[in-house]
């Protein structure tokens, strides 16, 4: 498979919205629905006010399927836990700029481990906070909700930041993907794509849809 570029639309359903009592079937359903990546939200109850799952669950998914694993670490000290997510089979690891670590060093270690490196910024964090690292990443994640929970409404005010990140990419001839996460459906995906995002994370709007394949297709075509 040819790896996608920032000009390609990538749909990444978030497993957080799946039925945890049937994870294997849910991952199979995701692949059959035409998803490109599987987005895995790791929450520690400290960096965000929710606890989800860790490396053991990711490893179980990795062992039963070969879909690209997009691991979003909403945890403090991601540098400390990093090797466990690499060992679990992550393909891309995204860390938050706000998470209390040496960001450049962590990004370097992610790439050194053979994974793609992502950097996430919360809705309240200006794009300037990520700028020193934009030449060291494969993906910039602009959160479109305050991280912690699925099912929250999309924050329209993030759109100018996405456009600024896309403009910076062009000006500096960089190639990072721009991912959006939180409240994404066909309507909000169209706005994000217009602003310059290409990787669409979608939890509720895909897993809770009556027809997941149709929901994935609608986000792809939006
Ligand atoms: C939010 C997570 C998201 C979440 C998205 O903290 O990072 O990935 O699962 O869920 P929806 O698509 O339902 O907003
Ligand atoms: Zn996420």
pLDDT tens-place string over residues 72-111: 999 999 999 999 999 999 999 999 999 999 999 999 999 9
Instruction: Report the candidate in 13, 142, 29 with the shortest Cα–Cα distance to residue 69.
Output: 13
Instruction: Pull the structure tokens for residue 146.
Output: 């305050």
- The answer to whether position 77 is within a domain reads yes
Do strands 92-96 and 10-13 pair parallel, antiparallel, or not at all (unpaired)?
unpaired
Q: Tell me if residue 41 is catalytic.
A: yes
For residue range 108-159, what is the model confidence (pLDDT) as tens digits? 999 999 999 999 999 999 999 999 999 999 999 999 999 999 999 999 999 9
Please give the distance, rounded to the nearest whole angstrom, from the Cα atom of residue 145 to the centre of ligand 2: 10
Tokens encoding 150: 């699925």
159 Cβ inside 6 Å of ligand 1: no
Q: Is the pTM of this model over 0.95?
A: yes
What residue numbers bound the domain in which 34 lies?
10-221
- In this structure, are residues 117 and 139 in contact, taking their beta carbons and an 8 Å threshold? yes
Atom of ligand 1 nearest to the CA of 204: 13
Residue of 197, 77, 194, 101 lying closest to 144 (CA atoms): 197
Nearest alpha carbon to residue 218 among 5, 73, 11, 27? 11
Whether residue 112 lies inside any domain: the answer is yes
Enumerate the H helices of 46-155 as residue ranges.
55-64, 78-88, 103-112
Q: How many domains does the chain have?
A: 1
Could you tell me which of 132, 136, 143 has the C-alpha nearest to residue 107?
136
For residue 34, the domain's CATH number is 3.20.20.70
154 part of a folded domain: yes
């Amino acid at each position: 498979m040819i790896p996608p570029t920032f000009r390609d639309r990538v749909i990444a359903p978030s497993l957080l919205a799946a039925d945890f009592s049937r994870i294997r079937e849910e991952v199979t359903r995701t692949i059959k629905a035409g998803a490109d990546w599987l987005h895995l939200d790791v929450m520690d109850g400290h960096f965000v006010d929710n606890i989800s799952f860790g490396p053991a669950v990711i490893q179980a998914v990795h062992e039963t399927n070969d879909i690209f694993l997009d691991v979003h670490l909403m945890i403090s000290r991601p540098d400390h836990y990093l090797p466990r997510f690499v060992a679990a089979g992550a393909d891309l690891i995204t860390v938050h700029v706000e998470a209390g670590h040496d960001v450049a060093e962590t990004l370097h270690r992610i790439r050194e481990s053979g994974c793609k490196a992502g950097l996430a910024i919360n809705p309240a964090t200006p794009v300037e906070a990520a700028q020193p690292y934009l030449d060291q990443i494969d993906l910039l994640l602009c959160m479109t909700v305050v991280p912690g929970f699925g099912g929250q409404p999309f924050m329209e005010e993030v759109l100018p930041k996405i456009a600024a990140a896309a403009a910076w990419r062009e000006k500096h001839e960089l190639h990072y993907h721009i991912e959006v996460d939180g409240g994404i459906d066909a309507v909000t995906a169209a706005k994000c794509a217009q602003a310059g995002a290409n990787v669409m994370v979608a939890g509720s709007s895909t897993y809770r849809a009556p027809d997941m394949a149709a929901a994935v297709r609608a986000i792809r075509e939006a």
